[in-house]
Amino acid sequence: MLTSELLESARGLSDNIVSLRRAIHAEPELGLQTPKTMAKVREALADLPLTWREGGSTTGQVATLEGTKPGRTVLLRGDMDALPMDEKTNLEFASTIPGRMHACGHDTHTAMLAGAARLLAGKRDEIEGTVQFMFQPGEEGHHGARFMLDDGLIDPLPDAAFALHIMPNAPFGVIGGRPGPLLAAADQFTITVRGDGGHASMPHDCSDPIPAAAAIVSAIQAMVTRRFNALDAVVVTVAQIHAGTTFNVIADDAVMSGTIRTLSPKHREMASKLIAETAAETAKAYGVEATCEIEQGFPVTICDPRAVELGKQVSIDVGGEAGWRDLPAPIMGAEDFSYLLEKVPGAMFFLGVAAEGEDWHHCCAVHSPRMMVDENALPNGTAVLAGCALKFLAEGFNE
């Protein structure tokens, strides 16, 4: 069952996969509400023996394929939302909506998942158990997976869950993964430095928040390098600073914001605490005050070693020994598939979609307005998703 034949079957669905991907790509939607994208998926899969569930918080839906005999349940997930940015690819199917682009590959994730649904529906007579296909909006910071869990769309929980994410600057058709932390937790901070403004020619009569804000930026970077073990990575980036209105006025306030990326719950809690303390104490040294607000984002994406080993074997079965790559270290990006993996053993893998034969090191990464995808790699992703489902249903995890 799990041989290169699975890839050939997926390649036979290539036209369907690419057509759906391009239709979604041309009409991107943002956030938790992606009704047009969901409608395209439903239309593409209308002839399959699937039952559908939808909730009230998002337009996401879960399709269920029941095998001919009872057994385990496995979930496959694809996200659907785009990014608020202009596209600069000049593709004939480029975004038709200014300020929106599928620059993170969610159009391909959805299309590959739909392909896996069709491939598995064709093997329904061989399936013992249940496959759930989770079509999820709101991954780009909107907590779509958490909302779908809260809506009860994945109740009862499956026995395992798998997802793919494309990587445009990775080798064509190669699947990559690792056990343990794969992606970071992503939290957001806002520091407000409050001073007492006045005329820029008379700073001695003011309490200037800007020097304090500049010192806080440096102090945070020193704090990261001196308070955290470098082997359990922490990244804190101050991405915005806003203060003042013109050249000759000292502002009352300076506001800065940024992101905290951590790979363990311990460091996640510690980083938030230390940033607030560092900001307050540094500001005090400059005669001003600073407060810090933390907005929690996605948790750490932690992959179950058994699920990673299963995905590795499937990837090798499908694509040969060169079809798999062990990732040497976590990536400090974040993913809301982490909400599923907090509750269900599973794994996320990366699929290289750089053009075949191209030097992938120089390809644009995700979130670039010029990001490109070699669509010939998408059947590889469909085959691996379907293969993970089939292998888990047939064998479970090796303990």
What DSSP assignment string belongs to 272-327? HHHHHHHHHHHHHHTT-EEEEEEE-----EEE-HHHHHHHHHHHHHHH-GGGEEE-
- Kindly indicate the confidence band of residue 211, based on its pLDDT and cuts at 50, 70 and 90: very high
Among the listed residues 172, 74, 124, the one whose alpha carbon sits nearest the alpha carbon of residue 381: 172
d(CA 30, CA 84): 7
Among the listed residues 225, 45, 79, the one whose alpha carbon sits nearest the alpha carbon of residue 147: 79
Contact 129, 74 (CB under 8 A): yes
- Kindly indicate the confidence band of residue 2, based on its pLDDT and cuts at 50, 70 and 90: low
309/280 same-domain check: no
Q: What is the pLDDT of residue 8?
A: 94
Q: What is the pLDDT of residue 197?
A: 96
3-state SS assignment for residue 25: helix
Q: What is the pLDDT of residue 358?
A: 82
Beta strand segments in 40-150, E: 51-54, 61-66, 69-79, 128-136
16/85 same-domain check: yes
Q: What is the pLDDT of residue 3?
A: 63
- What number is the average pLDDT over the span 356-379? 92
Integer-rounded Cα radius of gyration of the chain: 23
Of 280, 295, 310, which residue is a domain's last? 295
Q: What is the overall mean pLDDT for the chain?
A: 96
Question: How far from 99 is each of 32, 50, 84, 86, 103, CA to CA, in Å?
Answer: 17, 34, 5, 4, 11
* Per-residue pLDDT at 359 exceeds 90: no
176/196 same-domain check: no
125/218 same-domain check: no
287/315 same-domain check: no
* Per-residue pLDDT at 87 exceeds 70: yes
Task: Please report the sign of the dihedral spanned by the C-alpha atoms of residue 131, residue 34, residue 331, residue 359.
Answer: positive
Beta carbons within 8 Å of 256's beta carbon, 6+ residues apart: 190, 191, 193, 213, 216, 217, 238, 240, 241, 242
Q: What is the DSSP string of 188-245?
A: EEEEEEE-B-EETT-GGGSB-HHHHHHHHHHHHHHHHHHHS-TTS-EEEEEEEEEE-S
**Structure-block tokens of residue 292:** 């810090």
Q: What is the pLDDT of residue 25?
A: 98
Q: What angle do CA 150, 156, 158 make, to 5 degrees?
A: 105
235/337 same-domain check: no
117/192 same-domain check: no
* Per-residue pLDDT at 362 exceeds 90: no
pLDDT single digits (tens) 172-181? 999 999 999 9
- Kindly indicate the confidence band of residue 291, based on its pLDDT and cuts at 50, 70 and 90: very high
**Structure-block tokens of residue 98:** 């200014």
pLDDT single digits (tens) 7-42? 999 999 999 999 999 999 999 999 999 999 999 999
- What number is the average pLDDT over the span 79-105? 97
* Per-residue pLDDT at 4 exceeds 80: no
200/161 same-domain check: no
Q: How many domains does the chain have?
A: 2
Calculate helix-pair angle for 4-11, 14-26, nearest 10 degrees. 60
14/155 same-domain check: yes
Q: What is the pLDDT of residue 138?
A: 97
203/133 same-domain check: no
Contact 172, 355 (CB under 8 A): yes
Contact 385, 175 (CB under 8 A): no
Contact 336, 298 (CB under 8 A): yes
Question: How far from 347 is each of 182, 233, 305, CA to CA, in Å?
Answer: 9, 20, 8
- What number is the average pLDDT over the span 309-338? 95
**Structure-block tokens of residue 392:** 């888990």
pLDDT single digits (tens) 224-283? 999 999 889 999 999 999 999 999 999 999 999 999 999 999 999 999 999 999 999 999
* Per-residue pLDDT at 355 exceeds 70: yes
- What number is the average pLDDT over the span 361-389? 95
pLDDT single digits (tens) 137-150? 999 999 999 999 99
Domain span at residue 331 reads: 4-183+300-395
Q: What is the pLDDT of residue 349?
A: 98
CATH of the domain at 344: 3.40.630.10
131/248 same-domain check: no
The terminus-to-terminus CA distance of the chain in angstroms comes to 22
- What number is the average pLDDT over the span 372-395? 97
Model confidence, pTM: 0.93
d(CA 295, CA 56): 24
CATH of the domain at 224: 3.30.70.360
Of 295, 326, 348, which residue is a domain's last? 295
Percent of the residues in the chain that have a pLDDT greater than 70, as a whole number: 99
Of 246, 279, 295, which residue is a domain's last? 295
* Per-residue pLDDT at 357 exceeds 90: no
**Structure-block tokens of residue 382:** 């469909």
171/75 same-domain check: yes
> Residue 208 corresponds to which amino acid?
D
